[in-house]
Amino acid sequence: MNTGTGKTALITGASSGIGQELAKLFAQDGYNLILVARSDDKLDRLADVFKSNYGTQEITVIGKDLATEDAAQDVYNQVKAKGLAVDVLVNDAGVGLYGLFATDTDWEREKAMIHLNVLTLTQMTKLFLYDMLARNEGKILNLASLLSITPTPLMAVYAGTKAYVYNFTQSLINEVKDTHVTITALLPNATDTDFFFKAGAENTKVTDEVQDPVMVAKAGYDALMAGKSKAIPGGFKNKSYEVLSYVAPQETLAAVMRDKMKQKPEPDENEPKISLAWGIGFGIAVIAGIALTIGYKNTSDFTKAKYKYKAKSAGDTLSDTFSSLLDTVVDSVVDAYQTTKAKAEKVVSKAEDVEEEVAV
């Protein structure tokens, strides 16, 4: 169904990865395209493929290094000079950098990353959003990350830039809520692109759980078209990570992410493993925690304050131990979700009783 026929989508970072997959979806849906990336040659080849496979009528290629000063303004000027109106803006372009901030990473690369991930995205949004509001129509998709809602040692600056993107996007959503313009944040987990190689993190543990960029792009595209505020691809597991990022102590989250961002260890048959009993025990604790969270939503502000204080105190004490188990717990809970659903519902039904005990 060519719902976008006659409309134009501008995609940055369109030459590879999630950006390329998003561009493909727009092409399939009948959109005219403005493709932006550093490599003109890659974009030209991609344009030929889209024209051949999907019959895309108009494709404009803009070769631009978006990490340079006023790159967004230059892109905007080129678009306006061609008499084009952008109906959908996709701010996909972004880079990462791996290593200890104080000793391993290079400032010039970090500065370019901040410029690309933050400054260019912000200016692109400002320029094209103004035009969309003038027409009272348009859509914007900003690529954030699951790292935007959790501290991430060894990729501290990158995670900081994505935290900005997510917060910025959610703020703008409120500002434009009374218009026909919608803005969406895409929060993928680690994705199978060249991102980790370019960041110098290709041998980290997190690369063992990368997701398909086709799936990630489709989840972002569907959320964008539906006007949703955010999309977290990957099903229940990744949504569980989101919930944990809101309720777990920051110290614990930082420790968990530090472990996930470590280099892969050498194979060791004698490496100690977490027992099944530990996994089940903590899985039950997480399910109980979900029930407490549901009950917590209905408590008074005073009770919430007491609960937060107790949770913070307990979290500070258990942070080091919990961090080594949390990731395994999430996997255990996801695997057991279907079989424990009925029991969890019974726990939820007793949430008010549990809430009274928490408040004491």
Which amino acids are annotated catalytic? Answer: 158
Are 256 and 326 within 8 A, CB to CB? yes
230 phi, psi to nearest 5 deg: -160, 160
Question: Residue 3's CB: how many other CB atoms inside 10 A?
Answer: 9
Beta strands (DSSP E) in 193-274 are 230-231
User: Residues, the chain, total?
Assistant: 360
Q: How far apart are CA 333 and CA 329, in angstroms?
A: 6
Provide the CA 93 distance to its chain's centre, in angstroms. Answer: 13
Looking at residue 139, its amino acid is: K
Are 187 and 242 within 8 A, CB to CB? yes
Q: How far apart are CA 145 and CA 332, in angstroms?
A: 23
Residue appearing with tokens 């990630």 = 216
Give the Å distances, CA to CA, from 115 to 60, 79, 97, 144, 157: 24, 21, 13, 15, 12
Q: What is the DSSP letter of 90?
A: E
